[in-house]
Every structure is written in structure tokens, then in C-alpha cells.
Structure 1
Amino acid sequence: MRRFSLALVLGLLASTAAHADVTVYSAGPGGLIKSLAAGFTAKTGIKANVFQATTGKVMARLEAEASNPVADVVISASWGTATDFAAKGLLLSYESPNAATVPDFLKTEGAVAQGVAGIIIAWNTKSDTPMPTDWSDLTKPEYKDLVTLPDPAASGGTYTLVEAFYANGMTDILQGLKDNGAIVAGANKAALNPVLQGAKAAVFAGVDYITMGAAAKGETIEAIFPASGTVVAPRPIMILKSSQNQEDAKKFVDYVLSEEGQKEVAKVYLMPSRTDIVVDRPLIGDLKLLSKEGAPSRDEVLAGFKKIFN
């Protein structure tokens, strides 16, 4: 009888270990991580517990739990998170077999892009302004006092674009925006809302998937990829080295990078990180990308921006 009880207990423990939950902390669209978690559970039988918030709140929670880590997987809206975590030795080295068609610049040891956002001009199609085709159009008289832009200190995408402008000698456009009455409006949502409401005509450094999502809901807004080039903001997915459930965490990353998972990414208008996923929107290979090589440090970029916009 004792032998049977011991076998039963060991069997239950093994069963529990085999079906341990995966805990995922995710920045970005709440609908996306919910659909990914549901699809993952349906596919594997493993439950995914999700905490969804802004990147800042996700980082704050991770820091608060540093002495007793809870998260297995982290998805950030900033590639800088992956760079920082890797430098601190916090990431498990893992390359999913489903990452074979992800371009090299969207993956590194311990991180791979879940999806990619593009930085665009978000233009109100009923603003009685000419349709802009490049960043410099927003410095023209037709756009006097009608442009908003997110603060690069609050928006990772805007920072990446401003960084590229410094690297490519394009800061005259920033000065032109300032001289034309452009308003720095805080984070992405604060910059977009006045354009959606018709008080302003365009967002310089808008986010493509947010703009496309608003258009799909009937807003008179269009995402425009500037002719001179733009930047993208990869959203890294990472397994923490502190995870007590690394094998199932790997399965979650595999699912996100599977064809099914990447199509869920595309449903919220993000670019899939895999180049073999075909969706009806501009993809990485369609874009002219600005290099950031030779850009000043982050502190110098932000100081330069602040000097221009007082």
C-alpha cells in the first residue's frame, strides 16, 4: 500500500511538473497577448498566465520581483530591453527552430522579434492638407501649427527615428518642425489623439500598427511610409535565465514564431518578424530603412532634441 501511495504521489508530481504554467509579461496590445496565450494553450495544453502593461510597468514589476522572479517570458516594445538584459546576463540563450526566416538583425542570442512596428507619418485624410510623402513635407507652410510628435524620451520608436536622423545628418528636419510650430505631445497616444480628433493634421513619428488599427475602426487616418526612409521598432521576446520552467517557456516562444502565432501578430497590424508570412500590409522587405550607424549616445540624442524644441 505504501508503495502504491508513493508511486501515486510521484506520478502526480510528474504530471504537475509536465503541465506547469508559463508566466508571460508582455508590453503592447492586450488583445494580441491574449490570443497568443489562448492559441498556445489550445496547441500544447499548457496554461499561459499573462501580465500585460506598458514596457515601463513591465520593467517595474520585474525589478520589484528581482529577489523572487515570477516571469518566464518577457515581451517588450523596445529592442533596447533585450540589449540591456543580455548585457546583464539575464537571458537564456535559445534560438527557436521557427526563427529560421527571421532576419539576422531581428534576433540575437537570447532574444528574437515577436513582431515589428514601423515608424510613419499618421495623416488625417480630412485635414484639408496635401498628403505628405516624406518627413520634410511636415515642415512646409501647409502644415504650420498642425503637426504633433511624441517625445523621444517617452516613445522608443520616436527615439529610434531621431537617433537615425542624427546618424544621417537629417536634423534640419527637426529644426524645421520646430520652426513650423510642431508640438511635442508626450507619448504615442498623446500625439495621435489630436490628429484623430481633427485638431491637428499629422503625427511625425507615428506608429504604423496603431494608426492602421485606428483606420480599420473607421477613423480618417492613414499610415504613410516616408520616401526617404524610416526605422522599425522590433518587439523582442525573451526567456529569462531565472525561469523555473524553461522548457515550456521555449515552447511558448516556438508558438509565437510559428505560422499560426505570426498570423496573430499580423492581425493587430504589426509586421510579422518572419519574412515568409504573407499579409496585406507593407513588410520589412518593402521598406527603405535608415541606418543608425554612427549615431551619438542616447544622452546626446535626447539633449540635442531638447535643445531644438526647448
Structure 2
Amino acid sequence: MIVRMLAAGALLTSMTLSASAQQADLAAAKKEGKVVWYTSTPVETANKIAKLFEAETGIRVELFRSGGSAILRRFLQEQQAGRIAVDVLTTSDPAASAALARKGTFVPFKPAHFDKVPEAGKDANGAHVAQRLNLITIFARSDKVPEADMPKSWADLTDPKYKGKLVMTDPSFTALGLMVVATLSKDFGWDYYEKLRKNDIMVVQGNQQVSDMLKRGERLIAAGALDSYAADDRKAGHPIKTIYPADGVFIIPAPTAIVKGSPNPNAAKLFAEFMLTDAAQKLFPEDGGYAARIDIDPPADAAALGTLKAIPVDYDAVEKDTARVKRRFNEIFQ
């Protein structure tokens, strides 16, 4: 069942949608009255986006929020059953979004500020465009792991001194985890994950669970997780240090797309337009993440993406190898 999730306690500011969106979509969107959004956006930020859009337009947002792989699985199951229930799909899986776009699953649409999103973060024809950029790093409890003992690279995580201290996300649940596992297993070989298994790494569902493990002290090092959770935890007073591995970080766009044949097509376009407005984009750095637009500043006290070494991800290869990667990972960690 789709649940409507609302942010609480946020002071709303006045926002203006682009004139083209208002003229083309607003009246028809208001008649539809709602937009259904499936998303892997961190839950607090997703709630804020929904709340702001509702306040600005009077159009209700029905939000289903889960991990990127879970979002896609739900959408594909509904699609195969001949039922399109969602209007706007935001995942953390550029590979799957590109594959679905090639099949004609999405409505091409170039909202205002489309030109301010990097080329690598969008389809040239507008079939999908990044909502945010996901930075995947290593982070650790700085009060329990001395600076000198912190891992400096992805390869360091196999060191026996980290046995029983590591936690990571499940690539069958979160698409970001899938990107990391597919890439590192190719770069280092599956022996890398065999070694992590021997190091008693804990596998949890998603990034929130990784954060919870560190805050409770049950695990001390996040072995590849969404850095905005580390930023949020620091803001809340937890001693969490981000480590930018010497061999690179992952910078993965989160594509937003309008689903063809959706029940509320006009509201879908209006909501996709809203996703790239100043008001929505500035929520990401406020919550410790990175906006999709290059003209929006990075989070406070965080590295600018251009200063970091990025590990290249072959999204076409990930899309082709998804089933095999998940199967091999599960064989190792079953």
C-alpha cells in the first residue's frame, strides 16, 4: 500500500515554479490532484520535498520510499502485471534507468534547470535527469577507531585488524550498494568479498541501517555507504568521520523519470519540474548530500565533488550483470 509521508516542523518558504511549467501543467495537474512518487531519496529529504510541493501547488504527494533496488523491483512487478500505479520514479540506479529509457518506459521531459545538471547525470533527450548526486565513502566512529588505524583505501578493509568492525549495505536492496559491489568485484575480483566475509563484515539492508549500527557502536566502520548519513549523524553530535579513500569515491546520480502511461501525467511533469527548483535542490546540501545542479553549493564542511578522485562506474555493464552480481554476492554471504 502506498503511504503518504509528510515532513514535520519545517518552516515553509515561498517558491516559484518556472513560468513554462505553470502555463503548461499547473491547471491540469491541479485537476488530477495528486502525484504518486516511488523514491529511494533519504526519507527525511523525501518528506521535505513532498511537503514543499504540496504547500506550493496544493497537489497531494503519495510517497513510497524504499531502497533503490526495492523501488525498481516494485515498479517492474507492477509493469509486468500491466498496472502502472506510479507517476514519478526516482531511483539510485542509473544503469536500470538508462535500460528502461531505451525501452520507451519514460516520458522525455526537460524541466527548467535541465542544463545545469552534468551530462553524466541525465539522458540527452530528457528521459531521466538526476535529482541528486550520491557520494559513497567509507566512514567510521572517530571515538573508537584511532586516526592512525582508520582505513585509507577500499583494499585496506580486508585487513584482519578490522574483523568484526565493518558493516555494508545489501546490493539486493539498495542500488547504490549494487553499483559499489559490481565495480569493486570487477576491479579487485570476487576474492575481495571473500576476504571481507572472513573479516566478519555485517551486511544490512540499507544506508539507514548502516548509520544505526555505527551510532549504537555495534559496528565501527561503514564499508561503503551514502555519505549524507554520516553528515547527518555528525550534525546530530555523533563522532563520525568521513574517509575519502585514496583509490577513489563513488559519485552516483539518482535519476528521476516520468513514467509513460501514469495515472497523473500533468502532476508528474509539474513534480519533476519542482525537483530541480532552487527550493528542492538546496534541501540536499542542507541534509548533508549533494544537489544534482552544479550551481548549488556542496554541503557545509564537505569536499567539493570536483576535488575528489572518482571511481568510474560502467553502468551498461552493471545493468547487464545485475543478476549475476547479486547471485554471487549472496553465495558468498549466505
TM-score range, shorter chain: 0.7 to 0.9
Residue identity over aligned pairs, in percent, reads 23
Supply the distance in 2 between the matched residues of 1:63 and 1:299 (Cα, whole angstroms): 16
Select which of 74, 78, 82 maps to 1:60: 74
Deviations 1:94-132 (A, max 9, x none): 122311121111111411111122111120112244233
Runs (5+) with no aligned partner, structure 1: 1-14
User: Partner residue of 1:8?
Assistant: none
Q: How does 1:259-278 map to 2 (within 5 A)?
A: 259-278=278-297
1:307: how far off? 4.9
User: Partner residue of 2:61?
Assistant: 49
Deviations 1:127-166 (A, max 9, x none): 2442332222322243122112222222322221121113
Q: Pick closer, same or farther for the CA change 1:239–1:289 going to 2, 3 Å.
A: same
Supply the distance in 1 between the matched residues of 2:326 and 2:73 (Cα, whole angstroms): 21
Deviations 1:244-272 (A, max 9, x none): 54344323222211222210222222210
Supply the distance in 1 between the matched residues of 2:196 and 2:250 (Cα, whole angstroms): 19
1:197: how far off? 1.4
Deviations 1:8-59 (A, max 9, x none): xxxxxxx97462224031323333233223333444x341322232142675
User: Match of 2:156, SS?
Assistant: helix
User: Partner residue of 2:45?
Assistant: 32
Is 1:127 aligned to residue 148 of structure 2?
A: no
1:213: how far off? 1.4
User: Partner residue of 1:242?
Assistant: 261
1:171: how far off? 4.7
1:186: how far off? 4.0
User: Partner residue of 1:5?
Assistant: none
User: Partner residue of 2:35?
Assistant: 23
CA contact (8 A) 1:26 1:33 kept: no
User: Partner residue of 1:106?
Assistant: 121
Normalised by the length of structure 2, the TM-score is 0.76
Q: Pick closer, same or farther for the CA change 1:244–1:197 going to 2, 3 Å.
A: closer
CA contact (8 A) 2:230 2:242 kept: yes
Q: How does 1:1-310 map to 2 (within 5 A)?
A: 17=28, 19-20=30-31, 21-27=33-39, 28-43=41-56, 45-55=57-67, 56=70, 60=74, 63-64=77-78, 67=82, 69-108=84-123, 109-129=126-146, 130-169=149-188, 171-243=190-262, 245-279=264-298, 280=300, 281-293=302-314, 297-309=321-333
Return 67-76 or 86-95, whichever deviates more: 67-76
Q: Pick closer, same or farther for the CA change 1:171–1:225 going to 2, 3 Å.
A: farther
User: Match of 2:214, SS?
Assistant: helix
CA contact (8 A) 2:37 2:89 kept: yes
Structure 2 letter corresponding to 1:297: D
Supply the distance in 1 between the matched residues of 2:329 and 2:313 (Cα, whole angstroms): 16
CA contact (8 A) 2:84 2:263 kept: no
Q: Pick closer, same or farther for the CA change 1:233–1:139 going to 2, 3 Å.
A: same
Structure 2 letter corresponding to 1:285: G
Root-mean-square deviation (CA, aligned residues, Å) is 2.9
CA contact (8 A) 2:29 2:59 kept: no
Supply the distance in 1 between the matched residues of 2:101 and 2:296 (Cα, whole angstroms): 28
Runs (5+) with no aligned partner, structure 2: 1-25
CA contact (8 A) 2:29 2:266 kept: no
Structure 1 letter corresponding to 2:45: L
Supply the distance in 1 between the matched residues of 2:225 and 2:29 (Cα, whole angstroms): 44
Normalised by the length of structure 1, the TM-score is 0.81
